[in-house]
Each structure stands twice: as C-alpha cells, then as structure tokens.
C-alpha cells in the first residue's frame, strides 16, 4: 500500500476515507483534520485558553500533542482517581502524563507553529504547557472506589461516582484557572457508542447534550469540546504510535464488561462489513440534532448555585458532588 500523497510506503490505510498515508503525511493529516473540526464546530479560537483533560491514554495525550503543535495555549489536567485494579492504574496513567509533558518540553524548540499567516516565531512562553494534577484521595480523603463503596450510586461499580467527580473537578479547575474551554479526547468510536446507547432508549435529554461543542450556557460551567470526535479510535492510536507518544495501554479495570464496550464491538462488526458506517451514523445524528429533532422533548431544568461550591445544581442546597462527601447525608439517601 502506497501513500496517496507521496507514493512512499503507507503506515495506515483508512478504508472509510479511501486514504492510505505514510508516517510523515499521516502526522500532518491528523492535525489538519483536527483544525478543520475545531473551526467547523466553533470550538475555540487561537486566543483562548484550553484545559485538556488527560488520562494518560492514547486519545487525550494525542489530542494535547496536536493542540500544542497547532499552536494553541493548552494546559493539561490529570485527575488522580486512586484506582489500582492490580495494574497500579492511576499511578501508571499519571506517570504517562508527566512523561509526555517532559518529552514535549524537551522538544519545544523544534516545534513548528502554524498560524493563519503561515509559520511564525511565537513567544515560546505561551507554548510551555502546564499540567494540573488533582489527587482525589489527597484532597478529599478517599479514593473513587472508596467513595463508591459507601454510597448507593452506581450499583457496585464506581463509574457513576467517578463521572460525577471528574465533571465537578474539570469544571472547577477550568473556572478557577480562567480557562475558556475544556477539551476531552473522546474519539468517534466513543461518541458513536454513546449515541448508539442513547438511541436505543431515545433519551432526548442525553441526545441533545451530545455534541462536538457544548456552550457554557450556565454560570460556573465551562464550554466543552471534543476536537477528536470525528477521528476513529484506530486513527488516534496510530497517531500516538507514529508520533512516539507513550501511553497507558490498559483500560481502567472498571471499564471491563461495560455496555459501551459491548456496543463498540457491535459497531466494529458493522464498520468491518461496511467501512464508514460509524462516521455516517454520527454525522447523520449531528444533522438531525441541528435541525432540532430532539430539542422539543428536552425539558428545561432550572438550576441553582450549590451553597458550598457554587457549581450549578438542579437540587436546592448542595450539589450531588458536595453531598458525596457529607457522609451522614449520603448514608441516609
């Protein structure tokens, strides 16, 4: 298989795009595509400050790398969940984020920055990224599995508590750090698996909130973007590999057996039989959503500011996150 652009040996063949590329052209293609999606979905501008949620996995580290190479002011946020799972999961993933940053900093002088008017010399101060680390156990006294074990949320799995905590911490760090936007590394496979699950139950509220860009329409909430939402998982993994980014291969041990993984397998089979199925499903959904297909059904929820942390909540008094740490109240639930 030859690269379509230069005829050298291709490292990836993307059947759904009918495109094969060599390593050099693939490393150009991913940032070009990402930039196209950033503009298309009005995610952010070069002046804005971006907080990238990094987990040590291929998607979030590749995203951080791409944003920095495109010249964006992007800092990272790592949330230490205290998950071991026999593979020292949280410590390993933290280490990957730190390593990424060290490597990137050491390469910084050789990074080409592209701006609207072509390559230019940019004050590299801007490009030296920061990694915010929030260790849940150090800050709140308990790991995510510990909190999950004493609450009724999530039926034995910590994912519900974990999601709640991550959303809260991401919003808080974005707000306190004065970031304009919060970026996550969700890829097309993730988005399509979530979409598939929500379409099975026609959950209009969830469908309406699934988007490449969600504006910060409530005080205390950050704008949320997914610049890799149209990139296949295989493409983001290949980017990490070809770029030489070291990432944690293990999934979180609690992801095993989840419905979204089961949905991914079904969708992979469909994609294999008919390349491009996932992308078509996602793009058709975005069009329907834009045409207001789910808007009417989504109920308007009045939000108040939480008495303790100030983040918006539908309940009066404390938000679900703050209630999580009030042991007495949680036990009574």
Binding site for ligand Q46 (CB under 6 A): 158-159, 162-163, 252, 254-255
Residue among 31, 83, 74 nearest 53 (CA): 74
Q: Are 50 and 74 in contact (CB under 8 A)?
A: yes
- The dihedral through the CA atoms of 34, 35, 36, 41 has a sign that is positive
Proportion of the chain in helix, strand, coil states, percent, rounded to 5:
50, 15, 40
Q: Are 323 and 330 in contact (CB under 8 A)?
A: yes
Smallest gap, in angstroms, from Cβ of residue 192 to ligand Q46?
Answer: 16
Smallest gap, in angstroms, from Cβ of residue 136 to Zn ion?
Answer: 15
Q: Which is nearer to Zn ion, 25 or 263 (CB)?
A: 25
Choose the one of ligand Q46, Zn ion, none that binds residue 188, judging by a C-beta under 5 to 8 angstroms depending on kind.
none
Smallest gap, in angstroms, from Cβ of residue 52 to ligand Q46?
Answer: 16
Establish if 51 lies at the interface with Zn ion (CB under 5 A).
Answer: no
Compute the distance between CA of residue 315 and CA of residue 333 in angstroms, rounded to an integer: 14
In the region spanning residues 263 to 322, those forming contacts with Zn ion, defined by CB under 5 A, are: 306, 308-309, 319, 322
Q: Which is nearer to Zn ion, 172 or 234 (CB)?
A: 172
Q: Which is nearer to ligand Q46, 80 or 158 (CB)?
A: 158
Smallest gap, in angstroms, from Cβ of residue 114 to Zn ion?
Answer: 19
Compute the distance between CA of residue 175 and CA of residue 224 in angstroms, rounded to an integer: 12
Choose the one of Zn ion, ligand Q46, none that binds residue 317, judging by a C-beta under 5 to 8 angstroms depending on kind.
none
Choose the one of ligand Q46, Zn ion, none that binds residue 308, judging by a C-beta under 5 to 8 angstroms depending on kind.
Zn ion
Q: Which is nearer to ligand Q46, 20 or 54 (CB)?
A: 54
Choose the one of ligand Q46, Zn ion, none that binds residue 199, judging by a C-beta under 5 to 8 angstroms depending on kind.
none
Choose the one of Zn ion, ligand Q46, none that binds residue 22, judging by a C-beta under 5 to 8 angstroms depending on kind.
Zn ion
Smallest gap, in angstroms, from Cβ of residue 30 to ligand Q46?
Answer: 23
Enumerate residues 6+ apart whose C-beta is below 8 A from 217: none
Other Cβ atoms within 10 Å of 12 Cβ, number: 21
What are the start-end ranges of the H helices in the chain? 23-40, 58-69, 89-107, 136-140, 144-149, 159-176, 188-201, 204-209, 233-243, 259-273, 277-290, 320-324, 327-332
Q: Which is nearer to ligand Q46, 133 or 298 (CB)?
A: 133
Backbone angles phi, psi at 304, to 5 degrees: -115, 165
Choose the one of ligand Q46, Zn ion, none that binds residue 319, judging by a C-beta under 5 to 8 angstroms depending on kind.
Zn ion
Smallest gap, in angstroms, from Cβ of residue 307 to ligand Q46?
Answer: 27
Smallest gap, in angstroms, from Cβ of residue 81 to ligand Q46?
Answer: 6
Establish if 243 lies at the interface with Zn ion (CB under 5 A).
Answer: no
Q: Are 196 and 207 in contact (CB under 8 A)?
A: no
Choose the one of ligand Q46, Zn ion, none that binds residue 122, judging by a C-beta under 5 to 8 angstroms depending on kind.
none
Q: Are 76 and 52 in contact (CB under 8 A)?
A: yes
Q: Which residues bind Zn ion (CB under 5 A)?
A: 3, 5-6, 8, 22, 25, 306, 308-309, 319, 322
């Amino acid at each position: 298989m030859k690269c379509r652009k230069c005829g050298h040996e291709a490292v990836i063949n993307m059947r759904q795009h009918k495109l094969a590329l060599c390593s050099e052209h693939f490393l150009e293609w991913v940032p070009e595509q990402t930039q196209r999606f950033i503009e298309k979905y009005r995610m952010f501008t070069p002046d804005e400050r971006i907080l990238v949620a990094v987990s040590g996995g291929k998607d979030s580290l590749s995203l951080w790398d791409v944003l920095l190479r495109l010249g964006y002011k992007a800092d990272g946020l790592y949330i230490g969940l205290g998950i071991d799972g026999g593979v020292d999961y949280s410590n390993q993933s933290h280490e990957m984020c730190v390593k990424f940053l060290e490597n990137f900093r050491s390469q910084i002088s050789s990074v080409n920055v592209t701006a609207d008017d072509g390559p230019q010399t940019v004050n590299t101060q801007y490009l030296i990224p920061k990694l915010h680390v929030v260790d849940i156990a150090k800050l709140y006294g308990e790991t995510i599995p510990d909190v999950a074990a004493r609450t009724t949320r999530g039926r034995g799995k910590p994912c519900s508590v974990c999601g709640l905590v991550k959303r809260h911490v991401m919003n808080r760090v974005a707000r306190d750090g004065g970031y304009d936007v919060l970026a996550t590394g969700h890829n097309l496979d993730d988005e399509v698996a979530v979409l598939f699950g929500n379409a099975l139950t026609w959950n209009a509220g969830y469908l309406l909130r699934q988007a490449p860009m969600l504006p910060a329409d409530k005080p205390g909430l950050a704008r949320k973007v997914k610049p890799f939402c149209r990139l296949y998982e295989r493409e983001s993994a290949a980017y990490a590999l070809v770029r030489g980014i070291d990432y944690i291969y293990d999934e979180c041990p609690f992801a095993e057996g989840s419905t979204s993984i089961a949905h991914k397998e079904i969708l992979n089979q469909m994609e294999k039989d008919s390349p491009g199925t996932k992308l078509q499903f996602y793009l058709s959904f975005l069009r329907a959503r834009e045409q207001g297909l789910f808007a009417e059904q989504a109920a308007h929820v009045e939000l108040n500011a939480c008495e303790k942390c100030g983040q918006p909540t539908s309940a009066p008094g404390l938000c679900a996150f703050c209630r999580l740490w009030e042991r007495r109240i949680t036990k009574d639930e």
